Homo-oligomer: A and B are copies of this chain.
Amino acid sequence: MRIGELARLAGVSTRAVRYYEQQGLISSRRSANGYREYDEADLRLVTEIRSLVTVGFTLRDARPFVECLRAGHETGGSCPESVAVYRRKLGEIDEQIRALLDRRAEVAAQLAEACPGCTLTREDPR
Residues of A that sit less than 8 Å from B by CB: 55-56, 75, 77-78, 82-83, 86-87, 89-91, 93-94, 96-98, 100-101, 103-104, 106-108, 110-111, 113-115, 118, 121-122, 125-126
- Asked whether B55 lies within 8 Å of A87 as measured between CB atoms, the reply is no
- Chain B residues with Cβ below 8 Å from A108 are 90
Main secondary structure of the interface of A (DSSP, over half): helix
- Chain B residues with Cβ below 8 Å from A118 are 83, 86-87
* Chain multiplicity (copies): 2
Cα distance A98–B75 in the bound complex, in angstroms: 27
- Chain B residues with Cβ below 8 Å from A103 are 55-56, 93
- Asked whether A97 lies within 8 Å of B104 as measured between CB atoms, the reply is yes
A100 partner, pick from B82, B91, B97, B121, beta carbons under 8 A? B97
